C-alpha cells in the first residue's frame, strides 16, 4: 500500500540555520504531495503542496520539490526562526481517493 517515510526527530537547530526535513514516499501512479505543520496547541495546517512531478510548492519561506525519480518531497527553508518550532508532517493523496496518507512527523525545535 501507499506509505510516507520521514526522517525521525527531533531536529534541533539554531535560529537562521538551514533546514532540511527528508520525506520519501511509496505509491503507485502519480500522487499529490503535501507538507502539513502542527504548531504547539494548534490543529494541522497545510504548509505547501505539489500535484505533479517537478512542481515546487512554497509558502512562508519553506519549499519542497516533487521528485518522481527519487520519490521524494524534501522540505527546506533557508533560515529558520524560533516561531518555526512545530511538528511537520509529509503526506500524499491519490487521484480519486481524497484520503491523506501521512508520515510519522518530524519535530523541529529552533533555539534562539
**Residues between 1 and 60 with contacts to another protein, criterion CB under 8 A:** 4, 32, 34, 36, 42-46, 49, 51
Q: Which residues of 70-109 are buried (b: 16+ CB within 10 A; e: fewer)?
A: ebbbbbebeebeeebbbbbbbbbbbeeeeebbbbebbebe
**Residue 93 Cβ vs another protein, minimum distance, rounded to whole Å:** 6
Q: How many residues bind another protein (CB under 8 A)?
A: 23
Q: In the complex, which residues of this chain contact another protein (CB under 8 A)?
A: 4, 32, 34, 36, 42-46, 49, 51, 89, 91, 93, 97-105
Amino acid at each position: 500500500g501507499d506509505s510516507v517515510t520521514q526522517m525521525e526527530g527531533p531536529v534541533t537547530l539554531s535560529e537562521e540555520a538551514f533546514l532540511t526535513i527528508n520525506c520519501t514516499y511509496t505509491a503507485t501512479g502519480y500522487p499529490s504531495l503535501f507538507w502539513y505543520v502542527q504548531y504547539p496547541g494548534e490543529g494541522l495546517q497545510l504548509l505547501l503542496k505539489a500535484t505533479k512531478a517537478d512542481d515546487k510548492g512554497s509558502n512562508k519561506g519553506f519549499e519542497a520539490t516533487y521528485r518522481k525519480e527519487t520519490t521524494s518531497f524534501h522540505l527546506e527553508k533557508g533560515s529558520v526562526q524560533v516561531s518555526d518550532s512545530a511538528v511537520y508532517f509529509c503526506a500524499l493523496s491519490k487521484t480519486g481517493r481524497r484520503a491523506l496518507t501521512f508520515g510519522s512527523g518530524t519535530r523541529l525545535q529552533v533555539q534562539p
